[in-house]
């Protein structure tokens, strides 16, 4: 039987799931050149092609949305330069970028204000996680994929804001040490449980703790309120061909995105004086209207 851990959710609070591996620390990896392309689908309404490129201490992720089809859709790109602790989000359609520092979550969470369990006055939710490695293996280039099945069940008591649901995942996963500039961690590591002003009290119960990894193939069946949604990951390409280092640098002639405060940015607009004025005028108008509600 797995142990029970009591947690609560609160606004913008990051909560530790207390996995045995602890918090992932920032590291500078040394990836061999690798390209992985997959297609992710959810139901019959969402289809995205994801491309992951790795080279040394750097990585690039591209997301292209196929459905829902939109003529004005952006191709989103994220570049992580672990050696410089810098990340760039790119809007390739409009040649706009946002830059940020890569944070060490283990250090950030040490400084985070803890949430007192006495504040967890909401309804109780039991979350059961069971992750099983079947022992089956498959080879993809030089990478060995593990076959892992996971079942996550949410069982809320009356009055909880978290809906009852079950998600069963069956997939093949490979290890990519240092992905995301973080050390590999077993189990589920850490995560965010809920948001908003409601504070459900979570009882987290672990059964099997087999680690997953980067999904090469995956099928997930989620059931909520009698409705089933099937999501899939389909492998399109795996290649170890050499990659051009320029893929992992900020392209020339890109404009800085409009800065929205607290480290945020609007990737649809450049950071110009007129866009700043419009943004702050909109915020001021919204604040004034709130005073008279």
Together in a domain, 40 and 111: yes
Together in a domain, 206 and 265: no
Note whether residue 218 is domain-resident. yes
* Res 108: pLDDT: 63
Together in a domain, 44 and 171: yes
Together in a domain, 183 and 274: no
Note whether residue 211 is domain-resident. yes
Measure the CA–CA gap between 217 and 236, rounded to whole angstroms: 10
Together in a domain, 211 and 266: no
Note whether residue 89 is domain-resident. yes
Together in a domain, 260 and 226: no
Owning domain of residue 49: 4-239
Under DSSP, the state recorded for 38 is E
Note whether residue 244 is domain-resident. no
Together in a domain, 39 and 115: yes
Q: Could you give the number of structural domains in the chain? A: 2
How is residue 71 written in tokens? Answer: 């003529």
Burial readout 191-208 (b: 16 or more C-beta within 10 A, e: otherwise) = eebbeeeebbbbebbbee
Together in a domain, 153 and 264: no
Query: Cα-flanking dihedrals φ and ψ of residue 281, to 5°?
Result: -65, -40
In whole angstroms, what separates CA 194 from the centre of its chain? Answer: 14
Together in a domain, 184 and 260: no
Burial readout 134-164 (b: 16 or more C-beta within 10 A, e: otherwise) = eeeeeeeeebebbbbbbbbbbbbeeebbbee
Assess contact for 7 and 17: CB atoms under 8 A: yes
Per residue of the chain (293 residues), give pLDDT as tens: 444 444 444 333 334 344 444 567 899 999 999 999 999 999 888 899 999 999 999 999 999 988 887 777 778 899 999 999 999 999 998 999 999 999 876 666 666 555 554 455 678 899 999 999 999 999 998 999 999 999 999 999 998 888 999 999 999 999 999 999 998 754 444 333 444 455 788 888 989 889 999 999 999 999 999 899 999 999 999 999 999 999 999 999 999 999 887 778 888 888 899 988 888 888 888 877 777 76
Note whether residue 249 is domain-resident. no
Together in a domain, 285 and 211: no
Together in a domain, 211 and 265: no
Residue 12: which region, alpha, beta or left (left: phi > 0; alpha: psi -120 to 50)?
left
* Res 120: pLDDT: 55
Residue (of 148, 289, 123, 161) closest to 211 by Cα position:
148
């Amino acid at each position: 039987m797995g142990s029970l851990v009591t947690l609560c959710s609160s606004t913008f609070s990051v909560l530790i799931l207390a996995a045995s591996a602890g918090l992932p620390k920032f590291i500078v990896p040394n990836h061999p050149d690798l390209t992985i392309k997959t297609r992710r689908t959810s139901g019959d309404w969402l289809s995205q092609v994801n491309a992951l490129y790795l080279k040394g201490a750097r990585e690039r992720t591209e997301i292209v949305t196929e459905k829902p089809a939109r003529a004005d859709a952006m191709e989103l790109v994220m570049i992580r330069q672990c050696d410089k602790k810098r990340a760039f989000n790119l809007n390739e359609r409009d040649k706009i970028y946002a830059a940020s520092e890569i944070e060490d979550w283990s250090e950030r969470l040490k400084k985070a204000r803890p949430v007192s369990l006495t504040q967890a006055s909401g309804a109780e939710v039991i979350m059961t996680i069971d992750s099983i490695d079947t022992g089956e293996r498959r080879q993809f280039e030089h990478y060995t994929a593990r076959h892992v099945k996971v079942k996550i069940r949410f069982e809320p008591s009356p009055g909880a804001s978290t809906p009852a649901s079950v998600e069963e995942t069956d997939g093949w996963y490979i290890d990519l040490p240092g992905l995301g500039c973080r050390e590999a961690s077993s189990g589920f590591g850490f995560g965010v449980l809920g948001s908003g002003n409601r504070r459900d009290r979570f009882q987290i119960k672990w059964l099997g703790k087999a680690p997953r990894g980067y999904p090469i193939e995956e099928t997930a069946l989620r059931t909520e309120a009698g409705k089933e949604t099937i999501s899939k990951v389909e492998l399109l390409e795996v290649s170890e061909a050499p990659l051009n280092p320029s893929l992992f640098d900020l392209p020339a002639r890109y404009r800085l995105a409009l800065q929205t405060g607290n480290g945020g940015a609007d990737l649809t607009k450049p950071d110009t004086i007129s866009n700043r004025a419009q943004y702050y005028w909109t915020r001021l108008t919204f604040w004034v209207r709130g005073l008279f509600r």
